[in-house]
Each structure stands twice: as structure tokens, then as C-alpha cells.
Structure 1
Amino acid sequence: MSLEVIGTYAVGISLLIGAGFALVGTIGLLKFNDSMTRLHAPTKVGTIGIGMLLLASMIHAFVFGDGSFHEVLIMAFLFVTAPISANFIAKVNIHRRSCETPPPPPQDDTWSTLNVPEADRELAAPEKG
């Protein structure tokens, strides 16, 4: 098998995987009930799907043409901006109170810190031996 045949199979497999992920992301976007659960489909699954489509484009460019690094820049931009935009959308939904808010944290000094409650100090102490 020549490099062109292997490249063609790699491009085909990448396109199928990317299209499958994009399809699952689209179905999830349409099927989920509220905006907070809808966030997962385009940001998680869609990013991987678009990444595979761009990978197919890169393989095709390097096997059959001169090669191109534009896709790497697109992937980097996509992987950086998708989580940030999802975070902003989630914050807007929480501030608008259009979703269930998480329960308030307990009122003590050990929640979300490295402080250990007095009752658990024995369990948290490293064993000497």
C-alpha cells in the first residue's frame, strides 16, 4: 500500500469519527431539557468532533498537497474558547436563576479547604512506620 492509500483511509476514518461525534453533539443539543444540560453536548462532544474533522483536513493536506498548519491554529482556538464560553453560559444561567442552583456550602471553616475537622484528625494523620 502506498502513502496515498493509507492517507485516504486515515482521512475517511477521521471524517467518520468526527461526523459521528458532531451528530451525537447535535442530538444531545436537541434532546436535553434545560440550558445547563444542553451545555455538555456542544462543548464536550462537538469539540472532539470538530477536532477530528480538522485532523482529517490536516492529513489530507499533508498527504496530497503541500501541507497546512492552519488547522492546528483552529484547533487550538477551539480548545481554548469552548470551555470559556461554556463557563460564561453557565454563569449567566445561574445568575438568571433559570436553572437549579447548587446547594449553599456548609457554614464551617473546613469546606473547600485543607483544614481537617477535629473529629477526623486521626484518620487524616499520616501513619508513621
Structure 2
Amino acid sequence: MIEIVISIFLLTGAGLSVLGSIGIIRFPDVYGRLHAATKSATLGVISIITGVFLYFLMDGIFVGKLLLTIIFVFLTAPVAAFMIARSAYNTQVKMSDQSNQDDLAEAIKEQNRDQ
């Protein structure tokens, strides 16, 4: 039974990682590519590590390292993507022509108006 659960986690993680890779190739601008890379690839990596965690459940120190890896990936990947997107926006990397909403421009205008 545990082998089936482990297989589901590994296959789900692999599928999400493939979808993230396809999104990186297909999306037209840096902001969409960051979205694909962080959402699906992060969940894919966490699913794969969870499957490995379940496989090595009885090995004490290795399991602790896997849990720390899951927490590290879960916390750092979205923050890194946010910082990259914010840097790209501040250096005026253009959005795709297909994008029709720029919420950050309005927030920056309000912030500059308040100062």
C-alpha cells in the first residue's frame, strides 16, 4: 500500500515539474515564466521529496534532512520569484503584449502620491 502512495507522489511531482518546464518554454514574458517555474515546479519538487521521505521513513537522520529540504524549498522559492519579478519590474522589463493588467503600477503611483 505504501508503494502506491509513494508512486503517486513521485508521478505527481514529475508531472508538475514537466508542466512547469513547458510553462517556462511557452509563456511569453519573464513574469509568466516565473509563475510557471515557482508554482508548479515548487509543488513538483515538494511532491518528489515527500515521496522520498515516505520511502525512507524509518531512517532517522535522513528523514530530518528531507523535512528541512521541504521546508526550505517551500519558503525560499516563492520569495526568490517575488524578488526576481520585482527586480525585473523595477528595471522596466516589458510585459507581454498579451498582458492587460498592471496592478503594481497603480500601487507605485499611490505610494509616490503619499510621500
Instruction: Give the equivalent residue in structure 1 for 2:59.
Output: 66
Superposition map of 1:104-119 within 5 A: 104=106
Flag structure 2 segments of 5+ consecutive residues without an equivalent.
96-101, 111-115
Identify the structure with the greater helix proportion.
2
| Correspondence for 1:8 among 3, 9, 12 | 3
TM-score by length of 1: 0.71
Distance 2:9 2:78 in 1: 23
Distance 2:37 2:94 in 1: 18
Instruction: Give the equivalent residue in structure 2 for 1:30.
Output: 25
TM-score by length of 2: 0.79
How many pairs were matched up? 102
Q: Using CA pairs under 8 Å that are at least 6 residues apart, name the structure with larger relative contact order, 1 or 2.
A: 2
Instruction: Give the equivalent residue in structure 2 for 1:98.
Output: 93
Distance 1:104 1:14 in 2: 41
**Residue deviations 1:18-59, cap 9 Å, x none?**
100000001001111110111111111111100110010011
SS in 2 for 1:26: helix
**Residue deviations 1:70-113, cap 9 Å, x none?**
111001111111111011111111111112454435x88xxxxx
Rg larger for: 1
Amino acid at match of 1:55: T
Superposition map of 1:118-129 within 5 A: none
How far did residue 69 of structure 1 move?
1.8
How far did residue 66 of structure 1 move?
2.4
Amino acid at match of 1:74: T
Runs of 4+ off more than 4 Å: none
SS in 1 for 2:18: helix
